[in-house]
Structure 1
Amino acid sequence: MGTMRYRSHLAELKTTLSAHQLEVLNSEMVRLHKSALTAYALWLVLSWFGVHHFYLERPWKAIAYILAFTVGAAGLVLGFLLSWVMDETWSLAFRGAAVGGGLVLAGWWFVDLVTLHKQVERYNEEMEAQVIEALREPGGPPRPEQRSRPWPLYLNN
């Protein structure tokens, strides 16, 4: 669904909420909201370790960043160390791994530079949709064993 259509869909869903439910939605969004400024700060300082993806609760993507960084760094170190000890073939193989890991990481880094604000916006919209759906459920918010995120106690009433 396009961003504008998704936002209008969220706006429509909000019109079905009571005043109390809107208050709860607003308080939950204050708690769950992620900042693009914080995401970019994390990207700028610690992006090679994928910390900005941990912030946006996407651990698998962050782990992929860590793996690419590890492959690149290990390949670089081993490539230079092995050039003194072993034949040049192994050294070149490890240097190739370093270049490959570095190129993958640089590509992801650039994509995040251009799209991180949209990623944060999408995260916030998804959280808002989840809270609205939980508030609209006939039985109230889901029980603790049914949800993946911590839920405030006042929603369990």
Structure 2
Amino acid sequence: MTDPAPMLPPKDTAITYILWFFLGVFGVHHFYMGKVGRGILWLLTGGLFLIGWIVDLFTIPSQVRNVNARRAMGYR
């Protein structure tokens, strides 16, 4: 039998907001949360032409909660 996946540390909302503020147009906050596909999309489109960057201002808390819930269940 294999051991269950080790518990992954939770992501922090404050760190996500700091990354969003300074480097969010490049998608760094999405890379931090493990959302590589979305990070690449932000990187190539300038945060979806800044509209997605502004939307993230309001959705980061729920995004971090969802990522942390998935990590608690053992998903990466």
One-letter amino acid of the structure 2 residue matched with residue 130 of structure 1 = G
Point out which structure has higher relative CO (alpha carbons under 8 A, 6+ apart). Answer: 2
Task: Name the SS of the counterpart of 1:47 in structure 2.
Answer: helix
Task: Name the SS of the counterpart of 1:130 in structure 2.
Answer: coil
Aligned partner of 1:98 in structure 2 is none
1:60 paired to 2:37: yes
Picking from 49, 58, 62, the partner of 1:114 is: 58
One-letter amino acid of the structure 1 residue matched with residue 11 of structure 2 = K
Task: Name the SS of the counterpart of 1:32 in structure 2.
Answer: coil
Q: Distance in 1 between matches of 2:41 and 2:55?
A: 14
Following TM superposition, by how much is the alpha carbon of 1:35 offset from its aligned partner in structure 2, in angstroms?
0.2
Picking from 60, 67, 72, the partner of 1:123 is: 67
Aligned partner of 1:36 in structure 2 is 13
One-letter amino acid of the structure 2 residue matched with residue 106 of structure 1 = L
With normalisation by structure 2, the TM-score equals 0.82
One-letter amino acid of the structure 2 residue matched with residue 120 of structure 1 = V
Q: Distance in 2 between matches of 1:123 and 1:35?
A: 10
Following TM superposition, by how much is the alpha carbon of 1:106 offset from its aligned partner in structure 2, in angstroms?
1.5
Deviation per CA, 1:81-131, whole angstroms, max 9, x where unpaired?
A: xxxxxxxxxxxxxxxxxxxxx8x3211011100000110011001111227
With normalisation by structure 1, the TM-score equals 0.42
Q: Which runs of 5+ in 1 are unaligned?
A: 1-26, 70-101, 132-148, 150-157
Q: Which runs of 5+ in 2 are unaligned?
A: 1-5
For the aligned residue pairs, the C-alpha RMSD in angstroms reads: 2.0
User: Which protein has the larger Cα radius of gyration, Structure 1 or Structure 2?
Assistant: 1
Task: Name the SS of the counterpart of 2:73 in structure 1.
Answer: helix
Q: Distance in 2 between matches of 1:105 and 1:128?
A: 33
